[in-house]
Amino acid sequence: MSVYSKARKITTHTLQEMKRAGEKITMLTAYDYSLAKLVDRGGVDVILVGDSASNVMAGRETTVPMSLDHMIYHAQCVEKAVERALIVVDMPFGSYQGNSRIALESAIRIMKESNGHAVKLEGGAEIVDSVQRILSAGIPVMGHLGLTPQSIYKFGTYTVRAKEDEEAKKLIADAKLLQDTGCFAIVFEKIPAHLAKMVSEELSIPTIGIGAGGQCDGQVLVLHDMLGITTDFSPRFLRRYLDLETQITGAVEAYCQDVRSGDFPNKEESY
């Protein structure tokens, strides 16, 4: 029998069962009540309240400016709407690096104030003390390796990571370390497909890919990218399922025309 059920509430354990059963995990971002409701209704397994809100909601160039208060606000809006999906909340830049006590305080704030179900942190060995301390408080942690956008000023570009041997070896070691520390899943962002496949096969916890090929245990996309709301970003890994930019601007143009011509509102639309 399939682990997948539209009626079943998803937990971190469900994701591990899905990996064992060879069933793919679906994950999308959401940052607000209205879209989170639709995403949840659509049957996605995991909703990520991503710090990509910095780009798509706030129009910033990077995720670096995101604050803990911003993330908690977005997570609160999403949590209100969601009935089925597991809600994972990104810990923003500066809320967990370098000091595990601050990391724990930040994670506790996210859990208590937003009612999210888990947190996600970027990085491997450098942040493992923070991961360990958060886990020791009973908070589930999702890892994130490969392209980690909070480190964009260190990388200098958003190109594919871990193409060279040394970086690939570090990614493999970091993935094992995160698993052994107790993470329930790991996101692999923009790494070669063969590497993602190999590590996914070696790990017992699920891997969720974005730009990491088809052999991860699940896939994640940024909602606004896959809906075609954001069109200035077209990486090769992105599949657009709608062209909402065209549809929304078309609807706004039609509305403006109707108001200007006096066609809206008509008699039936008036009291």
The residue ranges that bind ligand KIV (CB under 6 A) are 29, 48, 50-52, 90, 187, 189, 210, 220, 222
Q: Please provide the size of the chain in residues.
A: 271
**What is the token pair recorded at 220?**
């994640």
Is the C-alpha dihedral spanning 217, 222, 227, 230 positive or negative? negative
Nearer to ligand KIV, 29 or 200 (CB): 29
From the CB of residue 242, how many other CB atoms can be counted at a distance below 10 Å?
Answer: 11
The amino acid sitting at 221 is: L
Minimum Å distance from CB 103 to ligand KIV?
17
How many angstroms separate the CA atoms of 226 and 58, rounded?
18
Least distance to ligand KIV from the beta carbon of 187, Å?
Answer: 5
Residue nearest to ligand KIV (CB): 50
Q: Respond yes or no: is residue 189 known to be catalytic.
A: yes
Smallest separation (angstroms) from ligand KIV to the CB of 202:
21
What is the Cβ-side half-sphere exposure of residue 203, based on CA atoms within 13 angstroms? 34
Q: How far is the CB of 250 from ligand KIV (least distance, A)?
A: 27
Which of 81/208 has CB closer to ligand KIV?
208
**Whose Cβ is closer to ligand KIV: residue 159's or residue 246's?**
159
- What is the closest distance, in whole angstroms, from the C-beta atom of residue 37 to ligand KIV in the complex? 19
The residue (of 23 and 189) whose beta carbon lies closer to ligand KIV is 189
Cα 78 from Cα 40, distance rounded (Å): 10
CA distance 91 to 128: 14
Residue among 74 and 133 whose Cβ is closer to ligand KIV: 74
Q: Of the listed 189, 253, 268, 269, which one is catalytic? A: 189
Contacts of 38 (CB under 8 A, 6+ apart): none
Largest pairwise CA distance in the chain: 70
Task: Tokens for 126, please give them.
Answer: 């450098």
Known catalytic residues are 189
